[in-house]
A and B are shown apart, each in its own frame.
Chain A
Amino acid sequence: MKHLLSVTDLDAAAANGLLDTADRLRQALLGREVRKLPTLRGRTVITMFYEDSTRTRVSFEIAGKWMSADTVNVSAKGSSVSKGESLRDTSLTLSAMGADCVIVRHPASGAAHRLAAWADRDATMTGTHTSIVNAGDGTHEHPTQALLDAATLRDRLGSIAGRRIGIVGDVLHSRVARSNVFLLATLGAEVVLIAPPTLLPVGVEQWPCRVSPELDAELPGLDAVMMLRVQAERMHGAFFPSAREYAVRYGLSDQRAALLPEHAVVLHPGPMVRGMEIAPSVADSPRAAILAQVRNGVHVRMAVLYHLLAGAPE
């Protein structure tokens, strides 16, 4: 594996390999006082975030640090980006400084792919190898989120193949939903997107999933339900009449959660807007795996860094 740009680059074997590595890393660190592995000593990992983030950036940084990589964080605010430097020049600068891996989040879909193409071209000229990890590009993909969701589901349900997973809410603006649909389908799950028609992207009928507008009708048949955040910052039009109406029709209330089977798991990629897409009592209930998702995020990102950086360069 050279870069991690899209879950569609992973087949079932590669995805399961990453999840297995994440499990083994969790085992290796279980109950230890010293949460530090020497594996990536001397490797430099740079996170480059052009959008706000708490858990993704922090968990990548922790993942790198727990494996002894040197991690450096660059954000658009406070860097030369605010002086007008282009993505191309910023990335050239970072790889000239010897970054082995650049983890990028960018508001433009496809930004990580551009960086990877540049990195590959520079590699042939300079002999340096820089791996690119997509930590969210616009409304396109967020591969490590899908991987940590899969890790959490595998953990809680015991398996993913044959399970029915509902993804509810703002699919249109959600890179999390897109990455999850494709990864879960690769892993053999049956995915149902549940959203108002105005919040579904063009071309969704070609995705490997079913679409339904009726949350209440779907809940009893789900093994897991993933609630998406309503992305107000990406909404520049009227996608639904009011926040209150959205919450009434698509929010996961106590009454709705009661429709789920006993074993069903509730996921949310965070950050949550409590009272909007999910009721506080549901978010804090034992069937919610929201904090487990965060914990798994560190191990999954360690696994990604391990597969990209620990072995011989490809």
Chain B
Amino acid sequence: MANDRRGDVGGAAPDRELLSAADVTRTIARIAHQIIEKTAFEPARAEDVVLIGIPTGGAVLARRLAAAIAEFTGTAPAVGSVDPTLYRDDLRRQPARALEDTAVPESGLDDKLVVLVDDVLFSGRTVRAALDALRDHGRPRAVQLAVLIDRGHRELPIRADYVGKNVPTSRSETILVSLTEIDGRDGVALRRGPGDTGAGEDA
């Protein structure tokens, strides 16, 4: 989920920058190269790989990764998004959440190699929900996970195949991911204390 982003809380310690705009661009390029290598991506079989982003941040990252892969290989993989909200296990803990876009490529997910993309990996519960959602859309040959930031504190046996940056955090801290398409600029920062969304259990 798009977690812990936006807003400024005055008074507390300043946010610490983890990735600059240039770092974000470089990190995405590196993950794109890793995806090409690990999935043995070939332009002739480009439709075999599908990048599925988790809205909102992951969906943007999936599109950027696809663009980077297209730049390096000449062919873009299929891109889509799946909103896991309807599959979450914590819906009853807060007022009904707004739903986000779900757009599965028309070629479907059956027998495809799906790379699930999110901005921050935290408890693993969002990914668990997304895996359940994927299952209802088809039967991929395999599912891999790519994240920009892994901040630890997993509550489920889930790990990422591609990690932009590992960031040891305490539970009381917040990772703030900004992406140009949503926030007008790229960057990742660490805030001591909760974000204004109170989304501690997200991601």
- Which residues of A are in contact with B by a Cβ distance under 8 Å? 1, 17, 20-21, 24-25, 27-28, 30-32, 34, 36-39, 67, 306-307, 310-312, 314
Contact = CB atoms under 8 A, between A and B. Distances in A.
B99 A20 contact: yes
26 contacts: A1-B96, A20-B98, A21-B98, A24-B100, A24-B101, A27-B101, A28-B86, A28-B102, A31-B104, A31-B106, A32-B136, A34-B136, A36-B136, A37-B87, A38-B86, A38-B132, A39-B87, A39-B91, A306-B86, A306-B96, A306-B99, A310-B96, A311-B96, A312-B92, A312-B94, A314-B95
Nearest to A22: B99
A306 B136 CA distance: 19
A310 B98 CA distance: 11
Contact of A311 (B87, B92, B104): B92
Given A24-B83, A38-B86, A310-B91, A32 B137 contact: yes
B103 interface: yes
A17 B87 CA distance: 20
A307 B100 contact: no
B45 interface: no
A311 B97 contact: yes
Interface of B: 83, 86-87, 91-104, 106, 108, 132-133, 136-137
Contacts, number: 59
B104 A307 contact: no
B87 A21 contact: no
**Would you call the interface of chain A mostly helix, strand, loop, or mixed?**
loop
Nearest to A68: B86
Contacts of B94: 311-312
Given A311-B91, A312-B93, A37 B86 contact: yes
A307 B83 CA distance: 16
Contacts of B95: 311-312, 314
A25 B95 CA distance: 18
A179 B100 CA distance: 28
A201 B97 CA distance: 39
Given A306-B96, A311-B97, A312-B95, A39 B86 contact: yes
Contacts of A307: 96
Contact of B87 (A1, A24, A27, A38): A38
- Which of B92, B96, B98, B132 has the largest count of A CB atoms less than 10 A from its CB? B96
Contacts of B133: 28
Nearest to A26: B102
A153 to B, nearest CB: 21
Nearest to A67: B86
A27 B102 contact: yes
Residue of A32, A37, A310 with most partner-chain B CB within 10 A: A310
A27 B103 CA distance: 7
Nearest to B82: A28
Nearest to A37: B86
A166 B40 CA distance: 59
Contacts of B108: 31
Contacts of A311: 91-92, 94-97
A45 to B, nearest CB: 15
Top 4 nearest A-B pairs (CB, nearest first) are: A311-B96, A24-B99, A311-B95, A39-B86
A310 B83 CA distance: 15
Contacts of A28: 83, 86, 99, 102, 133
A37 B84 CA distance: 11
A311 B92 CA distance: 5
A31 B102 CA distance: 12
A311 B97 CA distance: 7
Contacts of B91: 39, 310-311
Nearest to B91: A310
A12 to B, nearest CB: 16
A67 B136 CA distance: 13
A72 to B, nearest CB: 21
A21 B99 contact: yes
Given A34-B136, A36-B136, A312-B92, A24 B102 contact: yes
Contact of B99 (A25, A30, A38, A314): A25
A34 B86 CA distance: 14
Contacts of A24: 83, 99-102
Contacts of B102: 24, 27-28, 30
Contacts of A1: 96
